[in-house]
A = this chain, B = another copy of it.
C-alpha cells in the first residue's frame, strides 16, 4: 500500500527491455545516437510540431530550470503559483540556472487564474530599471495538488502572458496524466493552447529517469544545448535516455500508463468517499489525491503499513477526530487489491 509518490514505483518492463535492446555495440555519444533521431521524429509527429526542437534530460528539475533559463533574463521574474514545484521543491534551481531571476507568486494555491495573473502583471512598471522585469509564465500540468487545467483555462492564461509579451512554459512532469484526464491531443494542450515550451515527463510514469524538453519555437535550441552541457545534464551514453523515451512513446505506453494511474486514483478516490470524515482538498482529476482524514484513520492506515505523504501532524498524539491532510499518489503499477485494502483499512 505505497501511495507516497509516482517516483517510488518501479520502471515499466517495456522501459527496461528497451535498455537491453539498445545496448549492444557502439553508438555515438552525447545525443548523436540514432535512437535520438527517432525520439525527435516521434515527438514532432505526436505534437504535430514539425519544427519543434527536442532535448532529453534525466530529471524534471533540470528540464524546468534549463527551459526557464533559456526563456528569461537574470533581471526578470517568472510568474507561478505559490505551490509551484519550481518555487517549493527545487532548492533554488530556477534562480541558479537563470543567474538570479526571481519567482513572482500569483494567487493562493496550486492553480492560477487569468484574473490573478492579470492582477499581478497589469500594473507592472515595465521599463523601470529598478524593478525586476516580467519574464515568463510557468504553469504545472497536472498541478501540484492533482488538478488539471482545461484547454480554455490554458488558453486564457497564455493569452494574458502573450498580451504582456511573456512566453509560457508548462512543467509537464505529469503531462501524460493530464492528457489522459482531458482526452485531448498533445498539440491541443500545448502549443495550440499558447504554450511555447513544455517538458514531457517520463520518470514519474514508468521510466527510470528521462524527461523530454520540447521547444515549439526552435530559435533558442543552440542556447538550450549549451546550457544543458554547461549544467552537466548532457549524457555521454545518451542512447539510454533515448531508448527510454522511445519505448515510453511506443504503442502509447505513456498514455496507457497514465490512464492506468488515473483510473487507480479514481478508484481510490471513489473508495475514500465512503470513509467517514474524508474530505477532498481538491477534486481529484489525475493520479494524485489530496484528502483530509481523521487522525484515527491515519493511525489505522499507518499501523496497517500504508505509506503516503502526511502534511499535518503529529500522527501519534492529538485529537483522534482531527482531520489531517494526506497526499496519495497512484503510479501505473499499483494494484487494485492494494487500493481496496487501503480503503478497507480506512473505513475501519
Interface residues of A (CB under 8 A from B): 2, 4-5, 7-11, 16, 19-20, 23-30, 57-62, 64-65, 73-77, 88-93, 95-103, 105, 129-133, 203-204, 208-209, 223, 225-237, 240, 307
Contacts and interface: CB of A to CB of B under 8 A. Distances in A.
A232 B346 CA distance: 37
A28 B16 contact: no
Name which of A5, A99, A228, A229 has the most chain B CB atoms within 10 A of its CB: A229
A59 B129 CA distance: 15
Contact of A99 (B25, B99, B102): B99
A27 B231 CA distance: 28
Q: Chain A's interface: helix, strand, loop or mixed, by majority?
A: loop
Name which of A25, A93, A105, A230 has the most chain B CB atoms within 10 A of its CB: A230
B26 A2 contact: yes
Contacts of A228: 129
Given A23-B10, A99-B100, A90 B226 contact: no
B209 A240 contact: yes
A61 B232 contact: yes
This chain's copy number in the assembly: 4
A25 to B, nearest CB: 6
B232 A130 contact: no
10 contacts: A4-B29, A11-B19, A73-B223, A75-B226, A76-B92, A91-B132, A92-B102, A95-B95, A95-B100, A99-B100
A131 B30 CA distance: 13
B232 A88 contact: no
Contacts of A91: 75, 129-133, 226, 229-230
Q: Which 9 A-B residue pairs are closest in the complex by CB-CB distance? A: A95-B100, A7-B236, A62-B232, A61-B232, A2-B26, A96-B100, A91-B229, A91-B230, A75-B226
A177 to B, nearest CB: 16
Given A225-B129, A307-B26, A203 B92 contact: no
Contacts of A88: 130-131
Contacts of A229: 61, 75, 90-91, 93, 129-130
Contacts of A59: 232-236
B92 A232 contact: no
B208 A237 contact: yes
Contacts of A231: 93, 96, 231-232
Contacts of A240: 11, 208-209
Contact of A232 (B2, B65, B307): B65
B92 A75 contact: yes
Contacts of A97: 232
A111 to B, nearest CB: 20
A236 B129 contact: no
Nearest to A11: B23
A4 B91 CA distance: 38
Contacts of A89: 130-131
